[in-house]
Amino acid sequence: MALRLFWIVVATAASSAAFAGAIDPQVVSDYAQMQLLPPTPAALTVCHGFGCRDRTEIYFTTADRAKLTQIMRGGAGSAEAERRAIAAAVQWFDRRVGPAAGTVNHVARAGHDQLGEADANFDCIDASRNTTSLLLVLDELHLLKYHRVEQTVARGAFIDFRWPHATAVVADLGSHEKWAIDSWTHAYGEKPDVKPLSQWLSEGGL
C-alpha cells in the first residue's frame, strides 16, 4: 500500500508539471483549493456526497486506458465527432466509477430532495469536477485532438431567478467556441449534455 501511494504521489507531481505547461494553471489550482490531488492516467478522485464531501479514489487499469483510447478514436475525424466521443467517455466513466463510489443509483439533477442519500449522488459541484478530471486524463493521454480543457463555469445566483449550477467546459481549438459538458442533468449511465456554453449560460430559470 505504501509503495503504491508513493508512485501515485510521483505520478501526480509529474502530471501537475505537465499540466502547467499545456493547460490554464487555474484549472490545476482549482484542485488545490478543493484539497484534491490532480488527476493522472493512473488515478483520480471521484467527488460525491454534494460539494465533494465524500471522495473515492479510482485507479485506472491498462484496460481502462485502452477503453478510453477506443472510445476517443471514434472522434478522430472532427471537433464535432470528438465532442460526441467525449460524451461517450463520460458515460463510460460514470458506469466505471459507480460500483466503487456507490453511485450506481444516482439521479439526474440531485439536490435537496436527495440530502438523505447525498453520498450516493452528485451535485453539480461533484459532477463538474469529476468530468473535468476525466477530461484532464484524456488530455494527458493525448486523446483530445480538437479541444482544450477549461475551468468549470457557473451560472445563476437566485437574484437573477436562476438556480446556481456549474459545468465542465472544453474549448474548440479551431473555432475557439466553448462547450458545456454537463453530466449533472442525467442519471447513472447516461450521456451528458453537450452544448455551446453560450446556450448553457442562458438556461436555468427557477
- DSSP assignment of 24-90: -HHHHHHHHHTT-PPP-SSEEEEEESSTT-EEEEEE--HHHHHHHHHHHHTTTT-HHHHHHHHHHHH
Cell of 64: 481502462
User: Taking CA 144 as the corner, what is the angle to CA 139 and CA 147, rounded to the nearest 5 degrees?
Assistant: 105
Burial class (CB in 10 A: 0-12, 13-18, 19+), 202: exposed
Q: How many alpha carbons fall within 13 Å on the CB side of residue 191?
A: 10
Question: Does the pLDDT of residue 188 top 80, yes or no?
Answer: yes
Other Cβ atoms within 10 Å of 6 Cβ, number = 10
Least confident of 5-9, 49-53, 128-132, 138-142: 5-9
- Residue 163 binned pLDDT confidence (cut-offs 50, 70, 90): confident
Mean pLDDT of 163-188: 96
Question: Does the pLDDT of residue 5 top 60, yes or no?
Answer: no
Q: Which residue has the higher pLDDT, 46 or 23?
A: 46
Question: How high does pLDDT run on average in the chain?
Answer: 88
Residue 7 contacts by C-beta under 8 Å, 6 or more apart in sequence?
Answer: 42
87-142 pLDDT tens trace:
999 999 999 999 999 999 999 999 878 888 899 999 999 999 999 999 999 999 99
Task: Give the pLDDT score at 164.
Answer: 85
Tracing cell 437566485 back to the chain, one arrives at 158
| % of the chain exceeding 70 in pLDDT | 85
Q: Identify the DSSP state of 158.
A: S
- Residue 162 binned pLDDT confidence (cut-offs 50, 70, 90): low
Question: Does the pLDDT of residue 22 top 70, yes or no?
Answer: no
Other Cβ atoms within 10 Å of 80 Cβ, number = 12
* Cα–Cα distance for residue pair 56/77, rounded to 1 Å: 34
Task: Give the pLDDT score at 113.
Answer: 83
Task: Give the pLDDT score at 186.
Answer: 97
Question: Does the pLDDT of residue 68 top 90, yes or no?
Answer: yes
Cell of 30: 482549482
